[in-house]
Each structure stands twice: as C-alpha cells, then as structure tokens.
Amino acid sequence: MNWDEYSDWGSRISQWAAEYHKTLRERPVRAQTAPGDIAAQLPEMPPEGGEDMDIIMSDFERIVMPGITHWQHPRFFAYFPANAAPPSMLAEMLVSTIAAQCMLWQTSPAATEMETVILDWLRQAIGLPAGFAGVIQDSASSATLAAVLTMRERALNWQGNQKGLSGQPRLRVYCSAEVHTSVDRAIWIAGIGQDNLVRIPIAGRLRGMDPAALKVAIEKDIAQGHCPAGVITCTGGTGTGACDDLDAMIAIAKSYDLYAHVDAAWAGAAMICPEFRKLWSGVEKADSIVFNPHKWLGAQFDCSAHFLRNPDTLVRTLAIQPEYLKTHGHDGLINYSEWSVPLGRRFRALKLWFLIRSYGLEGLRNRIRNHVIWAEGLCERLEQNDDFEIVTRPVLSLFTFKLRGRNDQVQIDYVNNINDDGRIYITQTRVDGQIAIRFQVGQFDATKTDVDFAHDVLVQMAGR
C-alpha cells in the first residue's frame, strides 16, 4: 500500500467510524454469533499473493462485525465500561501513526515528559496529595502485580529477585474476597502462592474488610513465624462495588510496617467528583493506588494510572539496566520502563491529554454524576416493583438485583434471555453464594433515555 492509498483509506475508515458510532443503538449489544461461526469463515491458510483493500474491508464488515460485542453501545450495562471518547480515539490514531516505542526518555522525550505531567493532572483531579508520582501501566492487573512484587521485595529486604523464594520465610498478603482476580494472579506470578493470600472476612453495607479480623490474622501469622508483606484493599470491587475502610485498613497495615495497595480500577474515575471521595477516605496514606482511565473516564483502552508514594521502591524492585538501555550522561531522567514489568511501552499519555483538554474535568464529572443519578433512579424503580428485589444498593453507578423469590438458574436464564434479545447487555455475579444480576451505568454516550429503556426491557423480560 502506498501512502496515497493509505490516506484515502484513512478517510474512508474515519467516516465508517463516525457512522458506526452514530448508529450503534440499531445493533444488538452483545454479539449474537455461536462459537466457531467466525473462525469458520476465515481461510485456513494465509494468501500467497496480496489482496485488494476493498475486499479486505468488505470481508471485515461481513465476517468480523457480526462477531463484535459493542462496548461503545450506549445500552451496555454489563461488567464495567471500557469507554473510548472520540478525542481519545483520535489521539490513538496519532499514536499508532507515529508508532514510537517509549521505553526510555530518549526513545521519545515527549512521551515520557507528557506522562509525568498528565499523571500529575490526574493526581490533582482525583484529590491525591502532592508527592504521589504516577506512571501509566497497560492494565490494572500489571499495576497490582508491580505492587505485589514490591511488597515481596520490601518484606524480604530486597533479596527475592536475587535468591528466589526457597529458604525464605513464608510471605503473607491480606485482602477480602471482594477484590478482583488480578490480585490472585499477581500472588501466583510473584511466587507467593494462593495459600498465602489470606482472605479477611467482610462487614457492613460496603462489604469492606473487618479491621479487627485483619489484626487477628496478622498477629496469628507473626506468632507462627510467617512474614506479613502487605494489604490489598479495594475501592469499588468488581462484583458489587465493595469498598474497604481505607483509613482503618491502612492504619493497621502501617502499624505492622506492611505495604498498602489500593485497587480502585473502576471507581477511581469517580474521584474526580469531590463528593464521592468519602468512599476512599484515607487513600492518601496508601503506598500505591491503581485506577483505570480506560474504564469509566473515557480514555481508550489501554490506560491504567498507577500512583506511588515512593517510586524508588518500585524501581528498586523492577529496574534492570543492561548496557544497551543506559542513557549515558543523562542522570535523573525518568525511564518509565523501569516502573513496569514489560520493557516496551506505548505513548499512552497523549489520549489522556486529548481527553481531559477536550471535555475539561467539569465535562467528565457531569457524565459520571449523571450515571450515578440514573443508576440510583433505576434501582429505586426496580425496588418498587414486586417482581424484583435489590441485592446490593448502588455504590456509585453499580447495584445488583434479582427476580424476587426465584432460584439461581432462573436468574441466569433471565440474564441470558436479555442478552440474546440484544437490546441491552447485563451480566451476573455471586453475592454471599447466590446469583445476583449486576447493573452499571457508565458508557460515555449513554443517556437517561437509554437507562429508562433498560428499565422497560428488564420489566418486560421478567414478565415472560
């Protein structure tokens, strides 16, 4: 392809993109294909000769699009959102055009310097005190892995990377059962082992760890000669939006000199609104915090903001400097590849710069506030309807409910029927062992009409 053809196709695809977004409501939200449908339409062998872009593009429409679940559909109420606001999409087009590899300062100074400045914008936006340094990770899972590796190294007096874990005291990490599975995987990958991830019972409406139980668990481990390393708390857990009492939990962690990490992957975006910050009060005492602007805030995936009280402990855990990565004569520069597990990194700060400038914090706050109000409104309407029962009340824009008096299988069938119907998309979770249906409002283009529409679909499908 020559660059004139590229330019022509670029314009056509950009028009296609606008049309796609404008007509999303006409499509079923979740893909309606059966397993294997798409693979069956792809040739088993690669072509020997080149093919025309016209044919490739029409196959894209014919084969690929029916197998897409539309995450940017305004009636997407499943999981958590993965918003891609249009300015962030445009920034990603520029980033993929430049295609720079931003592992070191000198491999693209603009990417590094913008990342430093924009993460400090974000720090201010979510109300963290000065002194926290930020870095963009590909995902919250990577940030949490980095936190677990740091707590491991810190607890082992920086000997784990060198000596391995055999012969070391048994490391222990504490969290509730409400945290995301990325915590389990971080524990596996860090070599700490699932058996040493200690689940602390929860208490209260926000389903946070019970402080007394955390203390008892730490004391018991110390008495047995184990090595407590850290506490992983959550603000806005995945199932029901559980929030630990950060003030209490981090105070306990600190009293035993443990590392404290906060996973606010979804809920962190809401902290741009000061009135929601009570959900994570005490966060300023954490050692690290992760929040995903690629969820609710509107920055195209992937973009995970990782804030550190002291980046030196992270760099001491992860930095490795073979000769070819040394930036000679430039001491004190930040090489962000030393702050993350992968070496290579994309220029991710640009989409945050485009996004925040284009809407302003106030524009982004309005969306989040509306989503919260609409979710609360829908929850109230369902509560007044005898067919439904609220299981957990809204935490920000997420609540769970069920069909009143029906067993788990009926709830699952109901969710599947709704998703096969395709007008809206929802998912289920388990709360205290039983199936509950999750509903979250968060798609960037969603309107109150879309949420009212969802109400009507939920009621209508319950009547079947």
Q: Does 292 bind ligand PLP (CB under 6 A)?
A: yes
Only one of the segments 234-242, 310-318, 321-329, 418-426 lies at the binding site for ligand PLP (rule: CB under 6 A); that segment is 234-242
Residue from the set 72, 150, 233, 238 that interacts with ligand PLP by CB under 6 A? 238
Only one of the segments 98-106, 136-144, 322-330, 403-411 lies at the binding site for ligand PLP (rule: CB under 6 A); that segment is 136-144
Pick between residue 139 and residue 310 the one whose CB is nearest to ligand PLP.
139
> What are the two backbone dihedrals, phi and then psi, of residue 252, each rounded to the nearest 5 degrees?
-65, -45
Tokens of 311: 């980046």
Pick between residue 266 and residue 336 the one whose CB is nearest to ligand PLP.
266
Least separation, in Å, of the C-beta of 143 and ligand PLP?
Answer: 8
Least separation, in Å, of the C-beta of 154 and ligand PLP?
Answer: 22
H-only helix segments in 126-156? 140-155
Instruction: Give residues 259-278 in contact with ligand PLP (rule: CB under 6 A).
Output: 263, 265-266
Residue from the set 72, 88, 150, 182 that interacts with ligand PLP by CB under 6 A? 182
- The sign of the torsion formed by the CA atoms of 133, 138, 140, 143 equals negative
Q: Does 240 bind ligand PLP (CB under 6 A)?
A: no
CA-CA distances (angstroms) from residue 351 to 21, 92, 368?
19, 6, 19
Q: Does 139 bind ligand PLP (CB under 6 A)?
A: yes
Tokens of 345: 């990194």
Exposed e or buried b per residue across 122-151, where buried means at least 16 C-beta atoms within 10 angstroms of its C-beta: bbebbebeeebbbbbbbbbbbbbbbbbbbb
Tokens of 300: 């195209």
Pick between residue 355 and residue 382 the one whose CB is nearest to ligand PLP.
355
Pick between residue 178 and residue 221 the one whose CB is nearest to ligand PLP.
178
Pick between residue 233 and residue 411 the one whose CB is nearest to ligand PLP.
233
Least separation, in Å, of the C-beta of 277 and ligand PLP?
Answer: 17
Least separation, in Å, of the C-beta of 464 and ligand PLP?
Answer: 31
How many residues contact ligand PLP, by CB under 6 A?
A: 15
- The sign of the torsion formed by the CA atoms of 375, 380, 385, 388 equals positive
Q: Which three-class secondary structure state does DSSP give residue 260?
A: strand
CA-CA distances (angstroms) from residue 459 to 282, 407, 453?
40, 18, 10
Most distant CA atoms of the chain, gap in Å: 72
Instruction: Give residues 302-341 in contact with ligand PLP (rule: CB under 6 A).
Output: 304
Pick between residue 263 and residue 287 the one whose CB is nearest to ligand PLP.
263
User: Which of 68, 227, 79 is closest to 154 using CA atoms?
Assistant: 227
**Length of the chain as a residue count:** 464
Pick between residue 146 and residue 156 the one whose CB is nearest to ligand PLP.
146
Least separation, in Å, of the C-beta of 48 and ligand PLP?
Answer: 38
Least separation, in Å, of the C-beta of 38 and ligand PLP?
Answer: 23
Least separation, in Å, of the C-beta of 24 and ligand PLP?
Answer: 22
Contact flags string 40-79 toward ligand PLP, x per CB under 6 A: ----------------------------------------
Q: Does 92 bind ligand PLP (CB under 6 A)?
A: no
Q: What is the dihedral of CA 284, 184, 270, 27, to 10 degrees?
A: 170
- In DSSP notation, 67-83 reads G---TT-TTB-SSS---
Q: Does 440 bind ligand PLP (CB under 6 A)?
A: no
Residue from the set 89, 91, 114, 140 that interacts with ligand PLP by CB under 6 A? 140
Q: Which three-class secondary structure state does DSSP give residue 392?
A: strand
In 119-264, beta strands by DSSP E: 133-137, 171-175, 197-199, 202-203, 208-209, 227-234, 259-263
* Positions in the binding site for ligand PLP (CB under 6 A): 80, 139-141, 180, 182, 234, 236-238, 263, 265-266, 292, 304
